[in-house]
Structure 1
Amino acid sequence: MWIIDVNNLAICAIVTVAMQFMFFLVACSCKFDKVTDFAGGTNFVVLAVMTFLISWTFSTRQIIATVFIVVWGLRLSGYLLYRIIKIGTDNRFDDKRENPLKFAIFWVFQAVWVFTVSLPVIFINAPRSADRYDYVTPQDGIGFALFGLGLLAETAADLQKFNFRNNPANKGKWCDTGLWKYSRHPNYLGEIMVWLGVFLISTSILQGGQWTAVLSPVFTMSILLFLSGIPLLEKNSDERYRTNEQYVEYKNRTSPLLLVPPPCYSCLPSPLKCLVCCEFPLYNYLDGENQPIKAKDSESTPVTQQPAPNV
């Protein structure tokens, strides 16, 4: 079983590196931003479909997991492609387009991201995985529900923010409508739920070294919570709107990740916000140097943003 998994992993790694390298050549030589995110999303689809066809076992779990990844990947890559075509350029690469080495580092990271996060579906689609528990287990049910809710949340959040930004009346404002009223990053909540769901589905068949599939949700959460996800977006928003009293109020009354009614969230003590709602001190740049600041919410309750030891 382990030899077969190694072969599957090797094939997936080679395909991922080759696919990202080809897209990198296009993006680097043409200084073209429009294929970058598309390359990531479609790579997930390619790995899922490829491992599904290689196994040739077509168990119920393999079919469901593969369909899940195809729907998620096509939805994400299609949305990101449409968005970048409409926007024109991606400012994440403003300091990288002219430097092939710095640009290549991003593509290497993207290849690592695709391969690592795809581990659960790679193992689910392994040829002999169909021999184990080809019926719906409790963790399958939870995984299906988490994936469905996560995909719904991510899709709704993306559409709401896209429509908000396309409204000329909202120029210079931050999105606080729909799910964004209850979370500052509902799209990231959906993304985390999606990959937690896929991992839970895979736990029905994981054995031995296959438990490295846990790296999928761990990697996703680490990137979004502590590296280039929430921390970067919070810093950019704080630097842009820190003098806007309404924005400070919004930030203090709105959960960074989980969907929580603002009146409930604003009443929570700071330690509970941090431990339960992921309001890490690293997300606070309102004073310009990531130090504690005080602000009032709309109900005149003093709220202190503590500095902390945040994608």
Structure 2
Amino acid sequence: MDLLIATAASFLLVIVVFLLLENTSHTSIIDFVWCFGVTGASVFYAIYPDTEITSLGWHLIVLQLLWFARLGGMIIYRTLALEKEDGRYRRLRESWGERYRQKLFRFYIFQGLGIILFSLPVWSALLLQTEITKFGIVGEALCLIGTIGAFASDWTLTKFRKTPGNSGQVCKAGLWRYSRHPNFFFEWLYWLGLAFLGINGVNSLWIFVFPVMVLVFLLFITGVPTVEAQALRSREEAYRKYQQATSMFVPWFPKNRAE
């Protein structure tokens, strides 16, 4: 029942946001709404009236709130810093033309589906496990490392972009020296940690389908392809050299020519 309620609430949320924002230049707010929805659904699963809040439930609530503070805060900062419409959504508006409203609605509905998909790891962990096990300790460590690593990556990139003279340059500071997408890598590490929190014997190993799903999204759908395409449009030569010298995803030592 909790999953059905969360599903209905998620789709209702994105539909309301669509109706409020469809004729504005602030449609990128859906990014924050998605983040808020995933966290809200996850917390709801843990406190749903038909269940007690277990030890694992409390830990998951704290981890998800930390995830929301990191990602949601970054999205809000990025949105407020923009003086005009987010470039990604402006390009969608231009490419969709006369069918913009219909396609934007479908896009928002897809975000509602995304809320449920990305909250399923927490729902599954609570279904499989109630306490923090040895695997759970590993999972918590991965979640915390992922949150800290993603925050450090975002912070470094934000500082780089705000530094005068860096326009058109590629950030190679901090973790960006070892990975072209350290924020995505550590984001994935967080979701891998959630899977470990739900392990309850061999029969529960199916929960690892969720970090695999997140990995597919990051590497092939919404993450790396979008960011790299934008980077090549804005600073092609410099970014191609960066691609040749730096690991795409997993942090690793750069090739000598990156020095």
* Residue 154 of structure 2: aligned partner: 158
How far the C-alpha of 1:243 sits from its partner, in A, is 3.3
The corresponding residue for 2:111 is 110
8 Å Cα contact 1:44/1:70 also seen in 2: no
- Tell me, yes or no, if the aligned pair for 1:140 and 1:200 is still in contact at 8 Å: yes
Matched, 1:21 2:22: no
Alignment correspondent of 2:220? 226
Equivalent-residue separation in structure 2 for 1:250 and 1:242 (angstroms) = 10
Which among 227, 243, 247 is matched to residue 251 of structure 1?
243
The residue aligned with 1:194 is 190
Q: CA deviation at 1:199?
A: 1.5
Q: Are residues 1:100 and 2:104 paired?
A: no
Contact 1:48/1:70 (8 A) holds in 2: no
Contact 1:16 1:43 in 2 (8 A): yes
1:168-183 aligned at under 5 Å gives the runs 168-183=164-179
Q: Could you say which residue in structure 1 is the equivalent of 2:232?
A: 238
Q: Which amino acid aligns with 1:117?
A: F
| CA–CA separation in structure 1 for the residues paired with 2:236 and 2:116 | 38
What does 1:58-77 align with in structure 2 at a 5 Å threshold? 58-77=53-72
Which protein shows a greater Rg?
1
In structure 2, the partner of 1:260 is: 252
1:298–1:28 CA distance, 2 compared to 1 (3 A)? closer
Asked whether the 8 Å contact 2:56–2:130 carries over to 1, the reply is no
Structure 1 window deviating more from structure 2 (24-33 vs 35-44): it is 24-33
- Counterpart of 1:47? 41
Q: Deviations over 1:139-197 (max 9, x none)?
A: 21221111111111111111111111111221111211111011100000011101111
Hey, what does 1:87 align to over in structure 2? 82
Q: Compute the TM-score of the two structures, normalised by the length of structure 2.
A: 0.87
Q: For residues 87-144 of structure 1, what are the alpha-carbon distances to aligned partners after superposition, in whole Å with 9 as ceiling and x for unaligned? A: 1321111144461111122212211221111112123345xx6xx553x323212211
CA RMSD of aligned residues (A): 2.4
CA distance in 1, matches of 2:17, 2:199: 33
Q: Is the 8 A contact 2:142 2:189 kept in 1?
A: yes
Count of residue pairs the alignment pairs up = 252
Secondary structure (helix, strand or coil) at the match of 1:157 reads helix
- Is the 1:150–1:192 Cα contact (8 Å) retained in structure 2? yes
Q: What is the TM-score with the length of structure 1 in the denominator? A: 0.74
Are 1:36 and 2:30 counterparts? yes
CA deviation map 1:256-278 (0-9, x unaligned): 11111214xx6xxxxxxxxxxxx
Greater relative contact order (CA < 8 Å, ≥ 6 in sequence):
2
**What are the ranges of 5 or more consecutive residues in structure 2 without an aligned counterpart?**
none
Identity %: 26
Unaligned runs of 5+ residues in structure 1 are 1-6, 267-296, 300-311
